[in-house]
């Protein structure tokens, strides 16, 4: 199924009142988390967890932003963020060291595209009612900035890095699903690969760091992309993640690849110092 780009029209309502009010279903979230543990590439399980543990204040946040002059300007200037992010030829025309270059490096190294996540989300929603309103842009934006957050925070796509990005994001988009997956993933790391690495402290640190950063989804991304990466981090008040890098250092001193962590169930048998 091809996902169509979002576009505004003059008659598009701010919020379609037919949208259902999602309720918290923690048991359902736990079931889908267990399924996710069987294969971390099963993106649909992540979507199901977020559906079961929704951000209850999202409507207020989204309509408030879209009703503002700034929000209206950004949403019309950047109607389809994935199209911008997947145009690597244009992004590469920015100066070396820019956020755009760092983003392209990350996505090309990982074999990812912004549109790929859009397609996965479209498949997940196939057959469900579709709602045409401005709020759809805000919802999509919460998804589309995920990989940019990886680049800005320095958290990788390893198990701990993904947990930390979600904890960071919780402080910007407080869906209980962010914390649920983040901390449950951290506990799974500690259980599966015990070691002295400060796993849960890294997740907690990420949550704290996210509080200092304004919501990335509400920023003019096309203005940020050409800027030097470190300048963008300073502008958004994103500081280094000490505990995450400390955990990586400990694992490497034990001969364990942090990106292949869960294949080492005996990690805790190797001594390491903090």
- Domain positions in the chain: 64-263
Judge contact between 117 and 43, C-beta under 8 A: yes
pLDDT of residue 241: 97
pLDDT of residue 269: 36
- Token pair in block for residue 109: 């190294």
pLDDT of residue 256: 93
Q: How far is residue 158 CA from its own chain's centroid?
A: 13
Mean pLDDT by 10 residues, the chain (274 residues): 50 93 95 90 91 96 97 96 98 98 98 96 92 96 97 97 97 96 96 95 98 98 98 98 98 94 52 31
pLDDT of residue 263: 67
- Token pair in block for residue 58: 């999202």
pLDDT of residue 10: 57
**What is each CA distance from 77 to 71, 248, 254, in whole angstroms?**
10, 39, 49
């Amino acid at each position: 199924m091809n996902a169509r780009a979002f576009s505004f029209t003059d008659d598009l309502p701010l919020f379609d009142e037919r949208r259902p009010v999602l309720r918290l279903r923690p048991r359902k979230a736990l079931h889908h988390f267990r399924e996710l543990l069987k294969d971390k590439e099963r993106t649909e399980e992540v979507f199901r967890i977020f559906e079961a543990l929704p951000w209850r204040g999202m409507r207020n946040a989204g309509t408030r932003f879209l009703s503002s002059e700034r929000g209206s300007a950004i949403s019309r200037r950047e109607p389809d963020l994935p199209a911008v992010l997947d145009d690597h030829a244009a992004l590469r025309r920015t100066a070396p060291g820019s956020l755009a270059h760092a983003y392209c490096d990350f996505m090309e190294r990982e074999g990812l595209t912004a549109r790929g996540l859009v397609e996965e989300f479209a498949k997940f929603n196939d057959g469900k009612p579709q709602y045409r309103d401005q709020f759809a842009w805000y919802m999509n934006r919460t998804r589309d900035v995920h990989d940019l957050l990886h680049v800005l925070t320095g958290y990788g796509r390893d198990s701990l890095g993904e947990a930390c990005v979600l904890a960071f994001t919780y402080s910007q988009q407080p869906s209980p699903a962010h914390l649920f997956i983040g901390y449950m993933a951290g506990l799974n790391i500690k259980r599966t690969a015990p070691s002295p690495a400060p796993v849960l402290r890294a997740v907690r640190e990420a949550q704290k760091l996210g509080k200092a950063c304004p919501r990335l989804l509400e920023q003019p991304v096309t203005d940020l992309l050409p800027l030097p990466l470190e300048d963008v981090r300073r502008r958004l008040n994103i500081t280094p993640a000490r505990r995450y890098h400390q955990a990586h250092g400990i694992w490497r001193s034990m001969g364990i690849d942090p990106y292949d962590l869960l294949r080492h169930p005996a990690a805790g048998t190797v001594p390491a110092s903090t």
